[in-house]
Amino acid sequence: MATGAQNFYELYRRSSVGTALTDTLDDLITENRIDPQLAMKILANFDRAITEVLQEKVRSRLTFKGSLDTYRFCDEVWTFQLKNVTFKMENGSQVVSADKVKIVSCTAKPQGANA
């Protein structure tokens, strides 16, 4: 998690956008165009920004159905692994299927909470 007044999870760094950002920052550090400290500040800002945008702007809902393969709860983090999953958007216009899905759910922290 990032340091500062409020901590944000680093979950979205493993998304395609987060991976692209991390790769770009690594390239810039390797080329001596930015300092590693700046890259860490950028990643902390990314963690904050993506969390806030997803919380405030995304209003779409979907339902999913599948078979629970495994689940785990450790350090306030739930991890679910599902098999043969189907996702349905709220308007029912599109159905997407997947063989395997991993869902990671973290406990929400109140504003200003420190970890």
Q: Where are the domains of the chain?
A: 11-57, 62-106
Q: pLDDT value at position 109?
A: 63
Q: How far apart are CA 4 and CA 70, in angstroms?
A: 34
Give tens-digit pLDDT for 14-24.
999 999 999 99
Mean of pLDDT values over 65-84 = 94
Helix 16-30 to helix 36-57 angle (10° resolution) is 160
CATH dotted code for 11-57 = 1.10.287.190
Give tens-digit pLDDT for 26-41.
999 999 999 999 999 9
Mean of pLDDT values over 88-115 = 78
Kindly indicate whether the domain formed by 62-106 is annotated with CATH number 2.60.40.1180: no
Q: pLDDT value at position 2?
A: 40
| Number of separate helices (H) and strands (E) present in the chain | 2, 3
Sheet bearing 62-74, strands edge to edge: 62-74, 77-89, 95-106
Q: Are 84 and 67 in contact (CB under 8 A)?
A: yes
* Inter-CA distances, 39 with 17, 21, 28, Å: 15, 10, 9
